Amino acid sequence: MSITELAAALPTLNRSKVCNLYRLMRLLVHSGFFTKQHLGDDAQEQGYVLTNAARLLLKNHPMSIAPYLKVITNPALIKPWYFIRTWSENDDGTAFYSAHGETFWDYCGNEPELINLFNESMGNDTPLITRVLSDKCRGLFDEVQSLVDVGGGTGTLAKGIADVFPHLECTVFDLPHVVAGLQDSRNLKYVGGNMFEAVPAADAILLKWICHNWSDEDCLTILKRCKEGISGGGKVIIIDIVVRLNDEAFKMIETQLFFDMLMMVVVNGRERREEEWSKLFFTTGFSNYKITPILGLRSLIEVYP
C-alpha cells in the first residue's frame, strides 16, 4: 500500500491522527516489520511492504507465529510483570501466582480459550520442525520404531512426525483432559497420564519445549521418568533452548534471555546453558548427550542412557 493510498483510505482521520499514524509506521519500519520501497515506475511514490520476518505474523503463512504472539501478549500473561516486586517480597512460586492467585497451568484449566490458543501456539512451528527433521536429521529415527511425545498437547507435532516417518509408532502423551476425545489414526495414538508419575515405554521419548517450563528439581523428575520409559538402545530427544552466552556469532542471545525472563515470571521455569543441561542429564543417570543447534533459538538434544 502506498502512503497516498494509506491516507486516502482513512478519510475520517484528522491531520494530527494521520501524522501519528505516520510516526507509528516510521517506528515499525525501523523495527523491521515494514520496509519502504518505490512502487512501479513512479520513482516519487513510496509504499510500505512487509519484511520476511513480519510475514511470519500473518495467519495464513505456513510457518505463522501469530498464535504464539497472541499467547505472550494475552492480558493474563502481561499482568504478572506488574507483580514482580510483590512476588520478590512474598513466598509465591511465580509472579503469575502473585497476580492471579493460582499457577499458570491451573489458570489455563479454567480458561479454555487461553489453553486452546496455547496448544495452537505450541503446534504452529510443526512445519519448520518436521522439515528440519526430514531434511537434515533423517538418521535421528533410523533405529527407532516407537516414539512418545511427552506433553504433546493435541498432537500437532506428533502428526507431522508420523506422516514424515510412517514406520514410527507415535504416541501423544498428555494430561487426560487434554487428550480426551482425540482420535487415534494409522500410526498415531493418544494416551492420558502424568509425566511426573510415569511415561509410556518407547524407543525414543520426545520433550519439545517442556523442560524450560519447569524448575531443575521438576526436570530431574521428568527426565528420570523418561529414562525409565526408554528401551535399552533408546534415547530422549529434547527440542529446547540452549543459551549460547559465549557464542559471539550467535545473533539471538537477547531473545533467549527474554524467554528466560518469561519462564521465570510465568511458570518458575528457566532457559539453560549447556553446562546446566549437562548437570541435569548426568544427575539423572544418563551417560552422554549431543547438542545440534539447527532450530534457530532452539537446539536438538539427544540424550543417551
Do the beta carbons of residue 269 and residue 104 sit within 8 Å? Answer: no
Do the beta carbons of residue 102 and residue 137 sit within 8 Å? Answer: no
Q: Which of 55, 74, 81, 165 is nearest to 120 (CA)?
A: 74
CA angle 135, 59, 188 (to 5 degrees): 50
Query: Cell 545473533 appears where?
Result: 251
φ, ψ (nearest 5 deg) of residue 134: -75, -35
Do the beta carbons of residue 243 and residue 212 sit within 8 Å? Answer: no
Active site residue 100: no
Which residue in the list 61, 100, 177, 212 is annotated as catalytic? 212
| Cα distance between residue 285 and residue 283, in whole Å | 5
Q: Which residues are catalytic?
A: 212
